[in-house]
Structure 1
Amino acid sequence: MATPPPNMEGGPPPVVVQPPGTDMTGICFKDQLWLSSYPLDRNLVFDYFAISPFYDWTCNNEQLRQRAIHPLDTSHLSKMTGTEYMLTEVTEPHLFVIRKQKRDGPEKVTPMMTYYVLDGSIYQAPQLCNVFAARVGRALYHINKAFTTASSNLEKIGYVDPENETAASESRASKETIDFKEFNRVNQILQSLSRKLPPAPPPPPFPEGYVPVPTGEAENGPETQPAGEAQQPPVDPIIDQGPAKRMKY
């Protein structure tokens, strides 16, 4: 008959237990001697978790262990109230997820913390807000670094050494020299494209109710208008159509 794992019948904690609510996300626990002596599966993983500093010895699971009942027996845990641990996800033998929760009734539980056993190492899962804060801080760091690098590169581009300023101006002047052969070639390409394109669309119609001013009256202007009447500003048919119908250039 195989020897039961240590602490199977309960007993004093082998390590110093942290106070409840202590942040232990930076702690990793691994007992290589235990792992080399017993298999890590769904039946013994809780006994392995119980020797870690994450274990709360006042939980309901410990009471079941002292009564020689499997600590993860839900038929007994559902009848109790208080703090308990529940195995929520298993991928033997690499990953085991254990959730600490407070039970107020058979169907009423409140999650408190989550732990996971990854290849024999036990970790406390961080809170979701801490994960978001860490990701945002990392993103801001990389954004700030990118802007710093871009700013330094722009300063190098805009800097001109006074000694080489004359040479730079000469090279710039040589680059700006017009190549007439290239100009003619581009002009021919543009002309051939203009012939292939469809004709320009007709101008937009005048707005409804608009009466164009006769040419004679437009030439006379304010000279032929009676002195008692106020001069009306010329109507722009395009502007009167509203900003949504203005022609864009």
Structure 2
Amino acid sequence: MDVTPLDELQWKSPEWIQVFGLRTENVLDYFAESPFFDKTSNNQVIKMQRQFSQLNDPNANVNMSQNIMNLQDGKNGNLEDEFAYVDPARRQILFKYPMYMQLEEELMKLDGTEYVLSSVREPDFWIVKKQRRINDAGAGNSRGPKIIPLQDYYIIGANVYQSPTVFKIVQSRLMSTSYHLNSTLERLYDLIEFQPSQGVHYKVPIDTSSTTTASTNGNNTGGGSNKNSVRPTGGANLATVPSTTNANMTVNTVGTGGQTVDNGAGRPGNGNMGITTEMLDKLMVTSIRSTPNYI
């Protein structure tokens, strides 16, 4: 049977939350119900000891709260010295929530795997850290126990996740990079074209908008073939455009055949506007009205 890796698993228990609710005081109890929790950890050992021992002292929480108030007022520095090995963020959690300070004091007596609450961002985000504690009895209390981090877990809302390892993160990034590079190369292969005269080259992308404009201008220019028509006065050297046309455009008669061509005066860049569609239409009307002499 295939087992889903823990770093790909998402777990939640709406039934448990409906009965007990989810808050910082009981988030470790909620985490203990998930498949990420190790039943052989020190947390489970302490939980079993609390169930079968007479540790239900009603004054325990009162005394712990009094110690925290004294620490905040600067009257008692014993607790701060006792938890000097704990990082400042988790130390604030211990001082704010007495049950976690009591749990830490009991974990300090054991060696092995344990779970602690390392970060709190109420009301919907917590980080649980799995670590291995090694108490060095010969080093004294000044150095404190040796803590080896093993894993981090995120509780977001009602969902519990295991943080991925660095290997998994790098592997995922490399696979994503490889996929996008492969897709890019496939698209580049589609742009390669071979012609015997030019060899291998890339196709030039065609802009559909410019192609449509060029096609329209080409059709209009084709209608300008009427300007190369035979004028009725075959011997004339100069034919002027009727007054209905643009005065800036002139047509010269070339040769004895009387064919007329544009002398370039109306081309763009010569100071005059180019031949427009309106000009060509007027030339065509003029050509139709005339009576050419066919040779």
Structure 2 length-normalised TM = 0.44
Aligned to 2:81: none
2:76 matched to 1:46?
A: no
| Structure 1 position 143, deviation (Å) | 1.7
**Structure 1 residue 78 corresponds to structure 2 residue 108:** yes
By how many angstroms is 1:107 displaced?
Answer: 2.5
Cα distance, 1:39 vs structure 2: 2.4
Unaligned runs of 5+ in 2: 56-98, 136-143, 194-201, 206-217, 219-263, 272-295
1:118 equivalent to 2:100? Answer no
1:100 paired with 2:160, answer no
The correspondence of residues 181-192 of structure 1 with structure 2, limited to 5 A, is none
The equivalent position to 1:157 in structure 2, one of 203, 228, 246, is 203
Residues 109-168 of structure 1 show CA distances to partners (whole Å, capped at 9, x for unaligned) of 111121111111111111111111101110121122122213313447179xxxxxxxxx
Take 1:119 and 1:150, find their aligned partners in 2: how far apart are those partners?
A: 45
- The answer for unaligned runs of 5 or more in structure 1 is 1-17, 160-170, 172-178, 186-249
Aligned to 2:211: none
Instruction: Tell me how far apart the structure 2 counterparts of residues 75 and 184 of structure 1 sit (CA, whole Å).
Output: 95
Secondary structure of the residue aligned to 2:186 is helix
Q: 1 CA distance for matches of 2:178 and 2:46?
A: 49
Alpha-carbon separation, structure 2, partners of 1:76 and 1:142: 52
% of aligned pairs identical? 29
TM-score by length of 1: 0.52
Structure 2 equivalent of residue 137 of structure 1:
175
Q: Corresponding residue for 2:67?
A: none
Tell me, in whole angstroms, the C-alpha distance in 2 between the residues paired with 1:62 and 1:54.
13
Q: State the Cα deviation string for residues 35-74 of structure 1 (Å, max 9, x = none).
A: 1222212210111111111111111111222233757721
Higher share in strand: 2
Q: Deviations over 1:7-61 (max 9, x none)?
A: xxxxxxxxxxx9xxx9411211111111122221221011111111111111111
Structure 2 residue aligned with 1:243: none
Q: CA RMSD in A?
A: 3.3
Q: Does 1:30 align with 2:6?
A: no
Which protein has the larger Cα radius of gyration, Structure 1 or Structure 2? Answer: 2
Instruction: Give the Cα–Cα distance (whole angstroms) in 2 for the partners of residues 33 and 52 of structure 1.
Output: 13
Aligned twin of 2:121: 91
